[in-house]
Homo-oligomer: A and B are copies of this chain.
């Protein structure tokens, strides 16, 4: 039995068959007993992102409207080089930067990030009343999401999320053994009445003390592209606080796409409405607005959560890369960061326009197809007719990747796996990676695949020729 398991595992490792067989042979001789993994590790397997990346590798010849990478063409090579070079020119200062930092990030850098947040929030007082101890620098904002989840969840605890929501965070919650409760969202983001109804129902079932968190991607949501409207921001907070009775419920505001705004006025965060700062956790990152390769993000935490998160982070890494924190702080202080954000906004805006125009052009006459035009971020969320499934094993996905050579992210990944009502007919389309020509060609191919699997549309199409 252990031998079988080992052999299977070998063949999953992606090695050439010959090497795998040889390894198996050696292993069989030594009779290694089975490796027992933790419950946490077992719950971490079968991740949506894993399947997706495997598909990306297997379909490398496709135009990818799937990848959530940032626009590589616009990455700030010169700004980063200049910052790194200047930071490491002075020997004494440079040596400090190459030394360990601190688990939460050095205080002077946290002050720079607090100033940055104050600008985002249009707070002229520089948020000086926010203690620097409530800021924690992380390896992208992903690490903050992970640490907060580890700090709060025992298996069986509950998290409410918008439906749909960021699928990697669904993976994180599943790894923690969380029960995930989807809450309806519309073009103005999570619906307050739906949040209240969900909490009421949980309360009626006697499980309110198991609710730890409400998770909201508040700006240009991944995957839906919607932002929580100005009116709803304080409402979601108020409902969360009102249901914090015996046990506090926190609201995790993921602001990853906040800076990528292509039109409209900037909205204050949900966090900004939290006067005592004891309910909202705000997750910010420079991965989208500057560079994912520097992996710098930060969080603002309720006071009582700071020690738990930094204790966990201390065990995990003693603090993220100190050099990179200095690079980001420097480009913010020097102004290079803001110039870069202005530049990428313009670039993404053009690509967003290209994708929306292509959607209109290519899908406009296919009955039952609709999409959301986002005011920022990197994604267009498209709905197909209800019967038309988009999952990895669906005829559409197979046709798209094998015939038309285009790849998208199946929408069903963005809902809890065990949610029986989850829609199966949606797609997340990214305009992050492709240039305008690639977006246009990708959308043309995707429409071709959709037409091929929508008999009625194909018929209509034929009739119209």
Interface residue count for A (Cβ, 8 Å)? Answer: 107
* Copies of the polypeptide in the assembly: 2
- Tell me, in angstroms, the Cα distance from A322 to B291 when the chains sit together: 10
Q: Name the B residues within 8 Å of A250 (CB-CB).
A: 35
Contact A303 B23, beta carbon cutoff 8 Å? yes
Contact A44 B95, beta carbon cutoff 8 Å? no
Cβ contacts A231-270/B at 8 Å (1 or 0 each) = 0000000000100111110100000000000000000000
Shortest beta-carbon distance from A206 to chain B in Å? 16
Q: Name the B residues within 8 Å of A91 (CB-CB).
A: 77-78
Contact A172 B45, beta carbon cutoff 8 Å? no
- Tell me, in angstroms, the Cα distance from A303 to B140 when the chains sit together: 28
Contact A311 B26, beta carbon cutoff 8 Å? no
Shortest beta-carbon distance from A124 to chain B in Å? 20
Q: List A175-233 residues whose CB lies under 8 Å from chain B.
A: 175-176, 209, 212
Q: Name the B residues within 8 Å of A38 (CB-CB).
A: 150-154, 157, 176
- Tell me, in angstroms, the Cα distance from A421 to B154 when the chains sit together: 33
Q: List A45-93 residues whose CB lies under 8 Å from chain B.
A: 45, 47, 49-50, 69-70, 72-73, 75-78, 80-81, 84-85, 88-89, 91
Q: List A329-385 residues whose CB lies under 8 Å from chain B.
A: none
Shortest beta-carbon distance from A278 to chain B in Å? 5
Q: Name the B residues within 8 Å of A36 (CB-CB).
A: 152, 209, 212, 247-248
Shortest beta-carbon distance from A459 to chain B in Å? 43
- Tell me, in angstroms, the Cα distance from A172 to B312 when the chains sit together: 9
Q: Name the B residues within 8 Å of A139 (CB-CB).
A: 139, 316-317, 320-321
**Which of A11-19, A412-420, A444-452 is the interface stretch?**
A11-19
When C-beta atoms are compared, the residue in chain B nearest to A39 turns out to be: B154
- Tell me, in angstroms, the Cα distance from A316 to B311 when the chains sit together: 15
Shortest beta-carbon distance from A133 to chain B in Å? 5
Q: Identify 11 residue pairs between A and B in the complex whose beta-carbon atoms are under 8 Å apart, listed by A's number.
A: A30-B276, A33-B247, A35-B248, A37-B308, A38-B154, A40-B151, A70-B100, A77-B94, A85-B85, A98-B294, A291-B323
